[in-house]
């Protein structure tokens, strides 16, 4: 990468007016996240036309695919933390070496995860409540999706790297490429065209896999050829292992924190499955719509860590504080406005995805209640990613565990016992709101601790006077 280009990007991130800078960095990612969300919506739309069991199968598969994505996002978060700080310190060559070394570790993680899922997927889906009518469709999907898993992880972490260096537009372009390829291939491979036979739900998996392979090629070109951040040549083993330790130190808690989201989704899906395949199908549709409602939050959560990391590297703690707490307030207000918008659209949106009245009713019940709590969910997401970039991954993991496992799921279960699916959704909503308040307080305490640590570090640093070397 050109040192001049890197310096100009960092200069803008650490010195340009804060709000316009965050807007400039986030806007491309809004488009990218919209494209990525369309990936799931397009799959749900076309697979829903195959039948109820196929749509329910997609619902069972979703938590597992999201779990794999969470591994990539967790490793990408860790890599982004390290790379963004190095860029803030203008250490571009060191960042390139770090990126190159960690790609090998990410590949090995992908291969290990692939082998694990090949051997355990049947038991996982049975535990989630998939019955014998749905399991064959799940198997058809997984057979064509699992082979690209290592490539998927490399693409996700490469995408995070592009954002970390201050190039969110390129990251968004890759997401748009992925979604476009999937949307074009889905109808061709699911239903067939001319001599091309329709593969059903397996076609959806094949379309997604091809899209990931092509997007990986584009990602590798951008990082290696255009940005010159993939170093060729002999590997220094001691440096390699040091970089792996750094990535694992932040990445392991981040992976677990990210993994809690699909784990909670899987448990929630199992709870919903108690009410039948129609309930699972309705919940699946609602989850796709929910992703769109949270797209601005997701976009901010992908750019805020890079902004915080580069400003921390440059010593701009003042800008970090203003950005962090300003974004938290923005998320609360914005997501409440989204809830007011969704209320009158809940029923029409549900009917657009299915003509099954029971499925549509479940989707509508979800959309009337749960979006109220998106403000709390957004705060939890922002606090988690911010704690990671502040190098407090264990606290970030605690925030995620409190929100998803210790508060949301118990309240959802209690609500389901008292009021069926509608009660389950109400309990989940209450959990999101309570967890959001707790997450905000934990962020305030973590920030106060960081400021004290930085102050102590500054006071303990010897002051050099003219002509006198510090001891």
pLDDT at residue 459 above 70? no
Local structure of 408: helix, strand or coil: helix
pLDDT of residue 469: 31
pLDDT of residue 221: 92
- Taking only the tens place, the pLDDT of each residue in 150-197 is 999 999 999 989 988 888 889 889 989 999 999 999 889 988 887 777
- Taking only the tens place, the pLDDT of each residue in 383-439 is 999 998 888 888 999 999 998 889 999 999 999 999 988 899 999 999 999 999 999
Within 8 A by CB and 6+ apart from 322, the residues are: 18
Find, among 5, 19, 298, 324, the residue nearest to 165 by Cα.
5
- Per-residue pLDDT band for 5 (boundaries 50, 70, 90) equals low
pLDDT of residue 7: 65
**Distance (Å, rounded) from C-alpha 262 to C-alpha 436?**
18
pLDDT at residue 256 above 90? no
**Distance (Å, rounded) from C-alpha 364 to C-alpha 355?**
13
pLDDT at residue 261 above 90? no
Local structure of 196: helix, strand or coil: strand
- Region 192-214: mean pLDDT is 87
Where along the chain do its domains lie? 18-452
pLDDT of residue 279: 87
**Distance (Å, rounded) from C-alpha 396 to C-alpha 376?**
16
pTM over 0.85: no
pLDDT at residue 462 above 60? no
- Residue with the bigger pLDDT between 61 and 327: it is 327
pLDDT of residue 458: 58
**Distance (Å, rounded) from C-alpha 202 to C-alpha 58?**
11
- Per-residue pLDDT band for 466 (boundaries 50, 70, 90) equals very low
DSSP string across 364-394: HHHHHHGGGGHHHHHHHHHHHHHHHHTT-HH
- Per-residue pLDDT band for 4 (boundaries 50, 70, 90) equals low
Mean pLDDT score of the chain: 86
Contacts 24+ apart (CB under 8 A), 243-249: 243/97, 243/98, 243/101, 243/102, 244/101, 244/102, 244/105, 246/78, 246/82, 246/98, 247/75, 247/78, 247/79, 247/82, 247/102, 247/105, 248/78, 248/105, 249/78, 249/393
Within 8 A by CB and 6+ apart from 308, the residues are: 84, 320, 323, 324, 386, 389, 390
Local structure of 192: helix, strand or coil: strand
> Residue 36, class by beta-carbon neighbours within 10 Å (0-12 exposed, 13-18 middle, 19+ buried)?
buried
């Amino acid at each position: 990468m050109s040192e001049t280009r890197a310096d100009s990007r960092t200069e803008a991130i650490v010195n340009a007016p804060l709000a316009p800078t965050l807007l400039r960095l986030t806007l491309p990612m809004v488009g990218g996240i919209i494209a990525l969300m369309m990936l799931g919506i397009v799959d749900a739309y076309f697979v829903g036309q195959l039948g109820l069991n196929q749509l329910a199968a997609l619902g069972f598969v979703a938590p597992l695919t999201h779990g794999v994505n969470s591994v990539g996002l967790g490793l990408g978060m860790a890599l982004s933390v390290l790379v963004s700080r190095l860029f803030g310190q203008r250490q571009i060559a060191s960042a390139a070496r770090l990126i190159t070394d960690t790609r090998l570790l990410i590949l090995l993680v992908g291969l290990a995860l692939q082998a694990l899922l090949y051997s355990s997927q049947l038991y996982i889906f049975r535990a989630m409540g998939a019955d014998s009518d749905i399991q064959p469709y799940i198997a058809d999907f997984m057979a064509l999706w699992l082979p690209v898993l290592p490539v998927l992880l490399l693409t996700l972490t490469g995408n995070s790297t592009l954002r970390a260096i201050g190039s969110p537009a390129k990251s968004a372009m890759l997401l748009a490429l992925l979604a476009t390829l999937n949307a074009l291939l889905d109808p061709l491979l699911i239903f067939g065209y001319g001599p091309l036979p329709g593969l059903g739900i397996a076609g959806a998996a094949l379309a997604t896999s091809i899209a990931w392979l092509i997007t990986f090629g584009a990602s590798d070109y951008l990082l290696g050829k255009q940005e010159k951040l993939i170093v060729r040549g002999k590997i220094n083993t001691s440096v390699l292992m040091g970089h792996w330790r750094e990535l694992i130190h932040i990445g392991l808690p981040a992976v677990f924190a990210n993994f809690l989201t699909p784990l909670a989704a899987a448990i929630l899906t199992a709870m919903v499955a108690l009410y039948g395949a129609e309930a699972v199908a309705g919940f699946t549709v609602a989850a796709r719509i929910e992703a769109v409602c949270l797209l601005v939050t997701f976009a901010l959560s992908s750019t805020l860590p890079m902004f915080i990391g580069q400003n921390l590297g440059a010593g701009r703690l003042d800008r970090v504080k203003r950005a962090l707490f300003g974004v938290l307030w923005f998320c609360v207000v914005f997501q409440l406005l989204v809830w007011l918008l969704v209320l009158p659209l809940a029923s029409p949106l549900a009917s657009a995805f299915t003509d099954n009245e029971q499925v549509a009713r479940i989707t509508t019940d979800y959309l009337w209640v749960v979006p109220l709590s998106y403000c709390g969910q957004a705060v939890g997401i922002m606090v988690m990613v911010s704690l990671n970039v502040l190098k407090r991954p264990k606290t970030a993991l605690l925030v995620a565990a409190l929100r998803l496992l210790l508060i949301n799921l118990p309240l959802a279960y209690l609500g389901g016992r008292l009021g069926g699916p509608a009660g389950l959704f109400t309990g989940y909503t209450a959990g999101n709101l309570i967890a959001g308040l707790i997450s905000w307080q934990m962020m305030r305490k973590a920030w106060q601790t960081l400021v004290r640590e930085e102050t102590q570090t500054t006071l303990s640093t010897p002051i050099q006077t003219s002509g006198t070397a510090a001891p």
